[in-house]
């Protein structure tokens, strides 16, 4: 709940309503329109009672600005056609947990740089709205995908979007509305119907560096099964061979295996006679060859007649037999 000082309440209902919506941030032009003299506004800032956030934008209290107040100040500075975008919009939509060091806004207008704000000039603005005006969550995802430096970065963005419950077709539709999208091919590979749905960089690395690099069978991803009265989901299942892979990455399993993980592994053994192999980042990113050898051994013990292929001369799979 926004609390306004008596001085601000005395400006009238229109001012109170606007300042409540705007998180106690106003433009100088608004304050003058509500009856304050420019000199008085400057005096309040000089006295430290108010804070000048950007040219023509004032925060009407002396405390430490919250992120929301910083974002509101950036929007008022950039003008009514501006919207939060990129990491700032992704934070508003709950796609990322941290908003980033700088507030990011997009606008079709030429806007001078200002401290603490990254201004993206866009000829064609995505749809934007909300109480804290932001581009849509799909547009925010594409913004972050385009900025990703490598495959893992793209997969991390897509994984966060999937964990948020976003709809793949809507993300692809947003991508199709843009003339150029960096990483477009990878985005379609991750989200197109029928393609392998990968929820984290760890899953991508497992598919690339463990399975494909060592000629292992391709496991089915995100398999749902009912065990007793509970539905469970496995990251990867080698159907017909009774081997399951659980990849405990940053998104779903930031800590050690939980009680639910242990229960699920035991229940799968009892109900389906399947063995579960559980891997973390160190196993897949640091020692993929040793992981491939172990997976291959589990698969052979369940009837697979193949063998892991060495991915390079020093690969331990070449000595696994």
CA distance 125 to 123: 6
pLDDT in tens, 151-210: 778 888 988 888 888 888 899 999 999 999 998 888 887 787 655 555 567 788 898 999
Assign 273 a pLDDT band (cuts: 50, 70, 90). Answer: low
pLDDT in tens, 97-127: 999 999 999 999 999 999 999 999 998 999 9
pLDDT at residue 76 is higher than 50: yes
Domains of the chain (ranges; CATH) run 6-64 (no CATH), 66-195 (no CATH), 201-319 (3.40.960)
The per-residue pLDDT for 138 is 97
In the predicted model, what is the mean pLDDT of the chain? 85
Assign 271 a pLDDT band (cuts: 50, 70, 90). Answer: very low
pLDDT at residue 34 is higher than 80: yes
pLDDT in tens, 196-229: 555 567 788 898 999 999 999 998 887 666 555 6
- Which residues are CB-contacts of 105 (< 8 A; sequence separation ≥ 6)? 74, 75, 78, 82, 83, 84, 85, 88, 117, 118, 119, 120
Confidence (pTM): 0.70
CA distance 171 to 181: 12
């Amino acid at each position: 709940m926004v609390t306004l000082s008596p001085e601000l309440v005395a400006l009238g209902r229109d001012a109170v309503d606007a300042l409540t919506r705007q998180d106690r941030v106003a433009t100088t032009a608004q304050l003058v329109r509500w009856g304050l003299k420019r000199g008085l506004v400057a005096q309040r800032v000089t006295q430290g009672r108010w804070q000048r956030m950007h040219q023509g934008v004032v925060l009407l209290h002396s405390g430490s600005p919250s992120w929301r107040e910083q974002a509101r100040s950036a929007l008022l500075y950039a003008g009514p056609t501006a919207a939060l975008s990129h990491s700032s919009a992704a934070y508003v939509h709950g796609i990322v947990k941290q908003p980033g060091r700088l507030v990011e806004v997009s606008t079709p207008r030429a806007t001078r740089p200002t401290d603490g704000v990254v201004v993206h000039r866009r000829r064609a603005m995505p749809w934007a709205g909300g109480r804290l005006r932001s581009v849509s969550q799909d547009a925010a995802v594409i913004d972050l995908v385009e900025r990703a430096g490598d495959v893992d970065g793209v997969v991390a963005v897509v994984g966060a979007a999937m964990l948020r419950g976003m709809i793949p077709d809507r993300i692809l539709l947003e991508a199709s509305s843009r003339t150029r999208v960096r990483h477009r091919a990878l985005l379609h590979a991750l989200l197109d119907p029928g393609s392998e749905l990968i929820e984290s960089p760890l899953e991508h690395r497992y598919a690339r560096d463990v399975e494909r690099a060592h000629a292992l069978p391709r496991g089915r991803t995100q398999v749902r099964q009912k065990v007793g009265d509970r539905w469970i989901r496995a990251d990867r299942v080698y159907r017909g061979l009774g081997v399951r892979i659980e990849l405990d990455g940053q998104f779903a399993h930031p800590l050690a295996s939980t009680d639910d993980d242990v229960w699920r592994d035991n229940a799968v053994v009892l109900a389906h006679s399947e063995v579960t192999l559980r891997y973390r980042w160190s196993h897949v990113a640091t020692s993929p060859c040793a992981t491939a050898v172990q997976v291959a051994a589990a698969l052979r013990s369940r009837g697979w007649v193949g063998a892991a292929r060495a991915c390079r001369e020093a690969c331990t799979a070449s000595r696994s037999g």
